[in-house]
Structure 1
Amino acid sequence: MSQATTPTRRDRKKQQTRQAIGEAAMRLFLQRGFDAVTVADVAREADVAVQTVFNHFPSKEDLFFQERDGYVSLPSRAVRSRGTGETVAQALARGYLRLLGDYHVAGLLLQSIDYQRTLDASPALRGRELELRQERESLLAAALAEDAPPLSEGLRPALMAAFASAVDRVLDAEVRRRLLAGEPAGQVQSSVEPMVVELFAVAEAACGKVGAPA
């Protein structure tokens, strides 16, 4: 049985540098707006060279979407890792609620409001977000296509992936609405949980009723 490799001092230093750059970038983006901040500004704020920033983040947009890999792969991973008897809808709900819980524990739910405002104000970020959502849908559709019928049949994988993406957007908007209304983050998390479970279940049921091609 293989053992996890212990990070070296060099690995830890690289991770610390990456984290410092990421935190500096988000601080500036939320204060000034994405388009008003340059990579050189981020390098100065993090006290590193511009090339060091690019060593960790290939583009300025990657500085904003720092958790892109986890975000993009979350639904497909949730579907592939589901337990015996767990439906696709339940797996997707579990993944969404885990992410929401992680944000609450880290104290990032309130920050998500400023994050979304910054994103909405930048055409470059809106375009990149659309690309990430499409990539996310494609990965989920691929995972569903490998699964058992009926969701693996015909156009159902792509349809279910599109439904799941729509559910994500609706839930994200509801979370932000409640936070803006002054509802405590912990209360928001608990109050949306039934909605999360119900909406993904409705999406799966609707997709399952779509007739398979002859």
Structure 2
Amino acid sequence: MTKITSPTRTQRKAQATRTAIIEHAERFILEHGAMALTLEIVAERADVAVQTIYNRIGGRSALLMAVAEKAFEENKAYMDAAYRTAGTPLERLEVAARGYFRFAMERPTAFRLLADPPNDLEALSRVSELVRHQNSKMEAAIADGIADGSIDAGVDAHLAALSLWAAANGILSLAWRADSTPVDTHAMERLWMQWMTIAIKGLQPA
């Protein structure tokens, strides 16, 4: 039997430092944008040496990637749980929509980073991977609905999944977009439910 060893104090401290660096970078990106991010600024905010960032994470590109990866994993946890729920295709889509709303409300930083990812090739690639991963599950649910007749046969499953994802991000971004009046959580929930009703009805056969 393999013995599982607990992390040492040094390892726990190193992980805590890495987490803190990523969180400080995450907050800075939301405040000032990824283009303004430098290792020096993050080092100052996290109260560590620049070399510590290199040791724990890597250079600037690696740091941006780590920020995107954190958001990726948080979103994946919500959505994978939602899509594991049993039910009809339309019920699965409703559960997924509710899961995405919870993710955006409970993890607003991660949502914003995925909706407006850092302008870095690797980070963008990772976010694109997440979009494909989640949209493929939505596409599969829509395809199942087309097959059993609960969704209009004239619907293109791929395009429908892509348009629903884009519309969802647009609605949820009203909570923080600078060019709009911020929508509070209660109003956002009502808006989201209204959109879900319209979207589900729009998928069903006439």
Q: Scaled by the length of structure 1, what TM-score is found?
A: 0.62
CA distance in 1, matches of 2:159, 2:22: 35
Quick check: 1:141–1:157 contact (8 Å CA) kept in 2?
Answer: no
Q: C-alpha displacement at 1:171, in angstroms?
A: 1.5
- Match of residue 100, structure 1, among 95, 99, 104: 104
Q: 1:57 to 1:19 in 2, by over 3 A?
A: farther
Q: Does 1:162 align with 2:175?
A: no
Q: C-alpha displacement at 1:175, in angstroms?
A: 2.9
Q: Return the letter of the residue paired with 1:186.
A: T
Describe the SS at the equivalent of 1:99. Answer: helix
Q: C-alpha displacement at 1:90, in angstroms?
A: 0.7
Q: Does 1:62 align with 2:65?
A: yes
Quick check: 1:82–1:91 contact (8 Å CA) kept in 2?
Answer: yes
Q: Does 1:186 align with 2:181?
A: no
Q: Deviations over 1:75-119 (max 9, x none)?
A: 45522x123346232122121222133137xxx69x95xx79xx5
CA distance in 2, matches of 1:97, 1:163: 16
- Match of residue 95, structure 2, among 85, 91, 95: 91
Q: C-alpha displacement at 1:21, in angstroms?
A: 0.4
Q: Return the letter of the residue paired with 1:98.
A: R
RMSD (Å), alpha carbons: 4.5
Q: C-alpha displacement at 1:39, in angstroms?
A: 2.5
The percent of aligned pairs where both chains have the same amino acid is 17
Q: Displaced runs of 4+ in structure 1, greater than 6 A?
A: 152-155
- Match of residue 144, structure 2, among 146, 149, 167: 149
> What is the aligned partner in structure 1 of residue 85 from structure 2?
82
Unaligned residue ranges in structure 1 (runs of 5+): 210-214
Unaligned residue ranges in structure 2 (runs of 5+): none
CA distance in 2, matches of 1:194, 1:75: 18
Describe the SS at the equivalent of 2:107. Answer: helix
Bigger relative CO (Cα 8 Å, ≥ 6 apart):
1
Quick check: 1:73–1:136 contact (8 Å CA) kept in 2?
Answer: no
Describe the SS at the equivalent of 1:67. Answer: helix
Q: 1:202 to 1:72 in 2, by over 3 A?
A: farther
Describe the SS at the equivalent of 1:91. Answer: helix
Q: Deviations over 1:169-198 (max 9, x none)?
A: 221233335995255x33334333313422
Q: Scaled by the length of structure 2, what TM-score is found?
A: 0.63
CA distance in 1, matches of 2:171, 2:76: 17
Give the paired residue count. Answer: 191
**Which is further off, 186-195 or 90-99?**
186-195
Q: Deviations over 1:130-181 (max 9, x none)?
A: 6455423422354356667245799944233213322222212333359952
Quick check: 2:93–2:138 contact (8 Å CA) kept in 1?
Answer: no
Quick check: 1:76–1:139 contact (8 Å CA) kept in 2?
Answer: no
Q: Does 1:43 align with 2:43?
A: yes
Describe the SS at the equivalent of 2:144. Answer: coil
Q: C-alpha displacement at 1:199, in angstroms?
A: 4.6
Quick check: 1:141–1:161 contact (8 Å CA) kept in 2?
Answer: yes
> What is the aligned partner in structure 2 of residue 212 from structure 1?
none
**Which is further off, 59-68 or 127-136?**
127-136
